[in-house]
Amino acid sequence: MFLRSDHGQEQAGGTATLSFGRGAYVPTVLSPFDKLRTGIAQIDWAPDLGARIGSADWWRGAATCAALITATCFLSPGFDRPILGDVAPAMSGSEWDEARAQSIAPLAWGAATGRHMAANDLVAPLAQQPERPRQDLTTTLGQGDSFARMLERAGVSKTDSAEVTSLVSNAVALDDIKPGTRIDMTLGRRPDRTVARPLEQLAFRAKFDLKLSVSRTGNALSMTRQPIAIDHTPMRIQGLVGSSLYRSARAAGAPARAVEAYIKAIASRISIGGDVRSADTFDIIIEQARAATGEVQLGSLMFAGLDQGRKKVQLVKWGSEGREQWFEANGVGERRGAMGMPVAGRLTSNFGIRIHPILHTARMHKGLDIAAAYGSPIYAAMDGVVALAGRNGGYGNFVKLIHGGGMATGYGHMSRIAVRPGTRVARGQVIGYVGSTGMSTGPHLHYELWKNGVAINPRSVSFTTMAQLSGATLKAFKARVASLMSVRPGGR
């Protein structure tokens, strides 16, 4: 049917005369037989029996179905009568041997297939098969493997292996060689089969920027270092946010870990859900090491930028290894949107004189009250050390943190405390959960801030001022920003 219609189309499209002829087509009167045929063709014989149940079409479909089933039942030979067939008899004797010789049996099962021949004058028994003069092989250092063990496994003698290991350990700490490193080696000719082959040559990449090779000259092994040039130009990726910041950045080639770090950094300044528009441009700079041999290693995020037209967010990672913080490119320190609010909630009572809700007397309120759902996590406002963690009179379950610069913070009325006295906490770490312990009328956090032992209004202190850069540090920071900004997008 397809063939026929395809053919018809070809003719209609392929020859102009035919399509012109169609234009002059005059409908002829159909014979009753043709009418019946088109009528039957138009009927949908197999409608969907799951739809419009009970309609005329459905009944007709059900009738078709029943008719087909009935016809099948009538055509069947019956369930109790077996259908007779022809089965070849089992092979035996020479016929079976012939068939078996041509089959392939797994070696593990003995593999007795194939035609066997009797030994004759043309067949000479082989006492010892010849050995290859040299053997080139590649081994891989496994997880938790030792370098010497790996060499011995590959067939290197104990003395050679010890010599190579001591040579290599002069250039690189053996523990620093990454598991999965491939080692190419060549083993030479041995005097007889009872001893291991001598190591002729060995080469591998010990580090991202160093290749080592050991080779034999005469009787001694010597090592050569081949440093690999590494280019440390960071990779910069820019692009439109589009429908999803994460997906667009990933599509632009940023690794998942860097994009996560980027979103975390940006979220500390603006709300990702609310403030980021699809027309905004993201700007990501990632540490990158490119070896002269072509390999690329991507490191951590160095710069997180978001250009919103009217507003620009530019954050630069700065600080000593492990204690890095995000600074704004203009030298102002890290600032997080909800910082100073250690819990996400509603400010219900401010710092200052107020009528106490339980005591009904005018009293100094030395902190902020933030109402939040029972059990909401409470975060440390800054890095610090836990000075107190336990019950403390009207404060209920109370945590006091000591920070640098004579600052300290207190968190009261917790339902549960998540830290112990003396432990270090990082900014943003959960230290407890909102509750209503102590003198409290409902679940809320009482948050206090002390400067040199005096309670001050937490809202008066912007945490940014504490991490500002100055002097030589600021100069170095500015130089870093300038060098980062000079990186060309694409960075390849």
Stretch of 73-81, 176-184, 368-376, 393-401 lying at the interface with Zn ion (CB under 5 A): 368-376
How near is the Cβ of 258 to Zn ion at its closest, in Å?
Answer: 42
Alpha helices in 145-244 (DSSP H): 147-153, 158-171
How near is the Cβ of 472 to Zn ion at its closest, in Å?
Answer: 42
How near is the Cβ of 267 to Zn ion at its closest, in Å?
Answer: 29
Single residue of 446, 449, 450, 458 touching Zn ion by CB under 5 A: 446
How near is the Cβ of 358 to Zn ion at its closest, in Å?
Answer: 11
Between 303 and 450, CB nearer to Zn ion: 450
Stretch of 57-65, 361-369, 376-384, 476-484 lying at the interface with Zn ion (CB under 5 A): 361-369
H or E element, residue 223: strand 220-227
How near is the Cβ of 354 to Zn ion at its closest, in Å?
Answer: 9
Between 47 and 340, CB nearer to Zn ion: 340
Number of residues that bind Zn ion (CB under 5 A): 2
How near is the Cβ of 461 to Zn ion at its closest, in Å?
Answer: 17
Between 205 and 365, CB nearer to Zn ion: 365
Binding-residue pattern over the window 394 to 433 for Zn ion, x denoting contact by CB under 5 A: ----------------------------------------
Of 229, 230, 226, 200, nearest in space to 212 by CA: 226
DSSP-based three-state secondary structure for 181: coil
Residues 6+ apart with CB under 8 A from 63: none
Sign of torsion over alpha carbons 308, 311, 316, 317? negative
Euclidean distance between CA atoms 329 and 478, whole angstroms: 8
How near is the Cβ of 447 to Zn ion at its closest, in Å?
Answer: 8
How near is the Cβ of 369 to Zn ion at its closest, in Å?
Answer: 4
DSSP state of 362: E
Residue 298 and residue 286 in contact, taking contact as beta carbons nearer than 8 Å = yes
Sign of torsion over alpha carbons 413, 419, 422, 423? negative
Stretch of 41-49, 215-223, 294-302, 365-373 lying at the interface with Zn ion (CB under 5 A): 365-373
User: Which residue, chain included where needed, has tokens 């300290």?
Assistant: 408
The answer to whether 366 contacts Zn ion (rule: CB under 5 A) is: no
* 280-319 positions binding Zn ion, by CB under 5 A: none
Residues 6+ apart with CB under 8 A from 382: 401, 403, 407, 409, 427, 463, 466
Residue 345 and residue 370 in contact, taking contact as beta carbons nearer than 8 Å = yes
How near is the Cβ of 386 to Zn ion at its closest, in Å?
Answer: 20
Stretch of 7-15, 322-330, 350-358, 443-451 lying at the interface with Zn ion (CB under 5 A): 443-451
Euclidean distance between CA atoms 101 and 110, whole angstroms: 13
How near is the Cβ of 417 to Zn ion at its closest, in Å?
Answer: 17
Between 242 and 438, CB nearer to Zn ion: 438
Residue 439 and residue 396 in contact, taking contact as beta carbons nearer than 8 Å = yes
Between 318 and 351, CB nearer to Zn ion: 351
Residue 327 and residue 315 in contact, taking contact as beta carbons nearer than 8 Å = yes
Single residue of 313, 369, 463, 481 touching Zn ion by CB under 5 A: 369
Stretch of 55-63, 352-360, 446-454, 463-471 lying at the interface with Zn ion (CB under 5 A): 446-454
Q: Tokens representing 229? A: 């040039």
Between 368 and 484, CB nearer to Zn ion: 368
Residue nearest to Zn ion (CB): 446
Exposed e or buried b per residue across 133-160, where buried means at least 16 C-beta atoms within 10 angstroms of its C-beta: eebeeebebeeebebbebbbebbbbeeb
Stretch of 59-67, 83-91, 439-447, 467-475 lying at the interface with Zn ion (CB under 5 A): 439-447
Stretch of 225-233, 236-244, 367-375, 482-490 lying at the interface with Zn ion (CB under 5 A): 367-375
How near is the Cβ of 176 to Zn ion at its closest, in Å?
Answer: 54
Q: Rounded to the nearest 5 degrees, what angle is found at the Cα of 220, between the Cα atoms of 219 and 226?
A: 140
Euclidean distance between CA atoms 336 and 229, whole angstroms: 40
Stretch of 173-181, 338-346, 445-453, 473-481 lying at the interface with Zn ion (CB under 5 A): 445-453
- Chain positions contacting Zn ion, by CB under 5 A: 369, 446
